[in-house]
Structure 1
Amino acid sequence: MNDLLEGLRILDLGRYTAGPYCAKLFVDAGADVIHVERPGAGDPARALPPLLDDGSAETVSAVYAFLNADKRSVTLDFTTPTGAEWLRELVRWADIVVENFAPGTLERHAFGLEEVLGVNPSVVWVSITNFGGSGPSRDLRGSSLTLQAAAALMDGNGDEDREPLRYPRHISEYWAGSNAAHAALIARRHARLTGEGQHVDVSIQESLVASYFMHFADYQYQGALQARGWLDLKPASDGPIIVNWHTAVPWDVFAIALEAEELILDPELQPPLSMTANAGRVADVISRSMRTRTRREWFARAKEHRVPAGMVQTLDEVAACEHLEARAHFGSLRLPGGAEGRAPGPPYALSEGATERMRVVPRLGEHNAVVFGELLGHSEGELQAAAAAGAI
């Protein structure tokens, strides 16, 4: 955690993953983030499994806890007159607004870009959608799976003679949320210099396409389509491990590290033939050798000889990873009932400005009185009337 963005004000209208993850990156850096949720039900992510016992009679979604710890939670129905007016007041307060509704949703409720900039001329309005706010696919429904398919990400994943494989669920939304936070800071810098707000239009499909340009470049400039298949994935005695040769590593050192001396003795199994015509034979030699040791034994040998290698770890192994533990990557979350959970911290480490703090997961609407009363200046009577009308 750090407080380097202290004073930056973020209004999070997001639901589920992409929008809340974008706002999470800000709160992790000390920004003040107000998360607007639906009265009664809240952000739908609150119902996503697994559900944790929070130390009281309630349960808390582990996904929601990870995405929304340290945010201030308010409930607001902006389809009601009072809710719409109070949302305008929150927009006036905010430096950056983040939302991931379907295109046109907020415009139908008079929260289009023109109306928003009329309320706050310097606000940065960030929209994260499946295919962006324009183009023929703008209004298509999508999921992480369909978006990976639409971006050709799946086409390069899996074995060459099998069907394409998806990446882990929701990774598309996390990538888009990260890109949105980056773009929002760029637009915020512009707003501070000029006083002009603007709309940041983030497409999940484009976030995926931009993430693997090396493969796209093969097609764009050479007409080559990427082939599926992990030629570097090898079977150790207790599971798969990835090893690959890099030109910085002498071929004989690579062969010795893998106890595959045949790669040295047979000229046809040495570069460049080992990388082209005889790549299959090389793979067979390495696979036979690697079945004789465990992943950790091979990883230790590869490390000793400075050969690129990586064990294909299971989630329980990642959770107990000594390297991540040494970097204090995992941190604690305090759930609303007082119990504690565990979740990854920010995916970076700063040399300055880092702080140690327990991340706190808010109850639904926990900060209504503080935000609507103290921050926006509404009376207790107004809050009671808004609650009775279903606006909060």
Structure 2
Amino acid sequence: MSPDFLSGIRFTDLTWAGAGPFGTKVFSDFGAEVLKIESMSRPDPVRRGGPFKDGVAGTNRSGYFASRNTGKRSISLDLKNPEGREIALRLIAQSDVVSNNFGPGAMERLGLTYDEVRAVKPDIIYLSMPMYGEDGPLSTLLGVGMTIAAVTGLMWMTGYGRGEKPLGPGTHYPDHAANPYHAAFAVLAALRYRRHTGRGMKIDLSQVESTANFVGASILEASVHDREPEHTGNRSRRDAPHNVFRCAGEDAWCAIAVESDTEWLALAATIGRQDLAARPELRKAAGRLAATEELEAAVTAWTRAHGAVEAGTILQNAGVPAARVSSARDLVEEDTQLAARGYWQTLEHPEMGPSLFTAPPFTIDGERVELRRPPLFGEHTQEVLTGLLGMSDAEIAELAERKILA
């Protein structure tokens, strides 16, 4: 399916790293023109962070950068130079949205505050995504995905027991889930509002507040019961067995999540432990929780004799929620469901060659949105400055010579 849903919307996109570029990628994947502004003095840091295709480092070879910038157009422009700033303002004057996820004070230093931008584009939608928001006692602090997970309590809630160190969610979760999508929702709402009223607006998205929205029931428990939720690792506070269990093979695991008395009886029968099913105290969740260690040992004795996929399939067929614990390689190479639904898309990249990308996680009228490849650094500078701003080749060459377009 051709990604033309948001055709006619233009971003001057100053975002970098994770959350910001992922938020604007939502628009570029659906046909908006997203002009990604960066310079070699301030490149998007994930360009240099990898992982790199075939292990070969390069400005245009980062898989992380590629995955977060599909469909965008790259313009090399030194915003710290006054002439570079003026070019940026000319681009903004022909844009619908200007976006940044810089730390506090950065846009002021660049001379690109909301008021300065609004002077050239009165109905602009201005997205700002600092860690804490633009006001309040902590608004001057900087942060990234891991620190945001820490200060919002997300990291505190993931661990195996009191006294053990917090584990965190295993990735910069705020960068990949909460913050980019909240930003995209806010911009879509602002675009709709402007269509009806003609008014632009400033969106001040606090990444901490955005992530706190994903914390969920733990905040309610703390506020209602005045206590912290117990750290349970992969166990449940309500039922058992509920954990990941080692299977046959190297580092192979199966997740099993019993959540009802019926599922428990099905599990006991499947693993051949009718003796456990017959014990009256194990017919209810409270009794099973009290016997967690014993039940987990019984389940492990069974799973160790089966491969992870096999164990999951047998239990699923018996009505027990279970699944292999998949690695990234498993998802790419062996997940038949993702493959059957066309979730993976291969795009030809000038430097990386054929490269695998994740599609938007839905179909529309049964079709996938077709991704467009990510840009090379500065790939569209000439095209945009001539086509959009009417600059001559000689002007562009002179600016490039003076490192303003670099």
Please give the TM-score of this superposition, normalised by the length of structure 1: 0.91
1:18-37 per-position Cα deviation (integer Å, ceiling 9, x unaligned): 11111111111121111111
Contact 2:61/2:352 (8 A) holds in 1: no
Q: Does 1:237 align with 2:241?
A: no
Per-residue deviation at 1:248? 8.7
Whole-angstrom CA distance in 2 between matches of 1:338 and 1:154: 35
Match of 1:194 in 2: 197
Specify whether residues 54 and 4 from structure 1 end up closer, same or farther in structure 2 by C-alpha distance, changes over 3 A only.
farther
Picking from 317, 324, 337, the partner of 1:304 is 317
1:269-301 per-position Cα deviation (integer Å, ceiling 9, x unaligned): 121423544444444433344333222122112
Contact 1:38/1:77 (8 A) holds in 2: yes
Q: Does 1:103 align with 2:141?
A: no
Whole-angstrom CA distance in 1 between matches of 2:144 and 2:358: 24
Contact 2:72/2:375 (8 A) holds in 1: yes
Match of 1:293 in 2: 306
Query: Partner of 1:74: helix, strand, or coil?
Result: strand
Per-residue deviation at 1:185? 0.7
Q: Unaligned stretches of 5+ in structure 2? A: 236-241
Contact 1:263/1:270 (8 A) holds in 2: no
Match for 2:149: what amino acid?
Answer: Q
Query: Partner of 2:350: helix, strand, or coil?
Result: coil
How many residue pairs get aligned? The number is 391
Specify whether residues 94 and 259 from structure 1 end up closer, same or farther in structure 2 by C-alpha distance, changes over 3 A only.
farther
Per-residue deviation at 1:144? 2.2
Contact 1:236/1:292 (8 A) holds in 2: no
Picking from 173, 176, 196, the partner of 2:175 is 173
Picking from 323, 327, 340, the partner of 2:354 is 340
Q: Does 1:38 align with 2:39?
A: yes
Provide the alpha-carbon RMSD of the alignment: 2.5
Q: Does 1:328 align with 2:342?
A: yes
Specify whether residues 255 and 242 from structure 1 end up closer, same or farther in structure 2 by C-alpha distance, changes over 3 A only.
same
Match of 1:218 in 2: 221
Whole-angstrom CA distance in 2 between matches of 1:210 and 1:256: 40
Per-residue deviation at 1:54? 11
Contact 1:262/1:285 (8 A) holds in 2: no
Whole-angstrom CA distance in 2 between matches of 1:382 and 1:112: 27
1:281-333 per-position Cα deviation (integer Å, ceiling 9, x unaligned): 44443334433322212211222123222221112111121111111111112
Whole-angstrom CA distance in 1 between matches of 2:32 and 2:83: 27
Deviates most, 22-31 or 259-268: 259-268
Whole-angstrom CA distance in 2 between matches of 1:117 and 1:271: 63
Match of 1:73 in 2: 74
Specify whether residues 355 and 163 from structure 1 end up closer, same or farther in structure 2 by C-alpha distance, changes over 3 A only.
closer
Match for 2:51: what amino acid?
Answer: P
Contact 1:336/1:360 (8 A) holds in 2: no
Whole-angstrom CA distance in 2 between matches of 1:248 and 1:92: 63
Per-residue deviation at 1:132? 1.7
Whole-angstrom CA distance in 2 between matches of 1:28 and 1:312: 30
Please give the TM-score of this superposition, normalised by the length of structure 2: 0.88
Match of 2:239 in 1: none
Match of 1:123 in 2: 124
Contact 2:362/2:368 (8 A) holds in 1: no
Contact 1:52/1:59 (8 A) holds in 2: no
Whole-angstrom CA distance in 2 between matches of 1:347 and 1:323: 13
Contact 1:258/1:298 (8 A) holds in 2: no
Contact 1:37/1:76 (8 A) holds in 2: yes
Deviates most, 130-139 or 22-31: 130-139
Contact 2:313/2:323 (8 A) holds in 1: no
Per-residue deviation at 1:7? 1.7
Match of 1:351 in 2: 365
Per-residue deviation at 1:100? 0.9
Specify whether residues 81 and 353 from structure 1 end up closer, same or farther in structure 2 by C-alpha distance, changes over 3 A only.
farther
1:148-192 per-position Cα deviation (integer Å, ceiling 9, x unaligned): 111111111121153210223332212211221111111111111
Contact 2:151/2:208 (8 A) holds in 1: yes
Per-residue deviation at 1:375? 0.8
Specify whether residues 279 and 87 from structure 1 end up closer, same or farther in structure 2 by C-alpha distance, changes over 3 A only.
same
Match of 1:14 in 2: 15
Whole-angstrom CA distance in 2 between matches of 1:279 and 1:54: 44
Per-residue deviation at 1:207? 2.2
Per-residue deviation at 1:355? 4.5
Specify whether residues 275 and 269 from structure 1 end up closer, same or farther in structure 2 by C-alpha distance, changes over 3 A only.
closer
Identity %: 28
Query: Partner of 1:63: helix, strand, or coil?
Result: helix
- Bigger relative contact order, structure 1 or 2 (CA pairs below 8 A, ≥6 apart): 1
Query: Partner of 1:132: helix, strand, or coil?
Result: coil
Match of 2:385 in 1: 372
Q: Unaligned stretches of 5+ in structure 1? A: none
Specify whether residues 114 and 59 from structure 1 end up closer, same or farther in structure 2 by C-alpha distance, changes over 3 A only.
closer
Whole-angstrom CA distance in 1 between matches of 2:145 and 2:369: 34
1:136-285 mapped onto 2 (5 Å cutoff): 136-161=137-162, 162-175=164-177, 176-228=179-231, 229-231=233-235, 232-238=242-248, 239-247=252-260, 249-274=262-287, 276-285=289-298
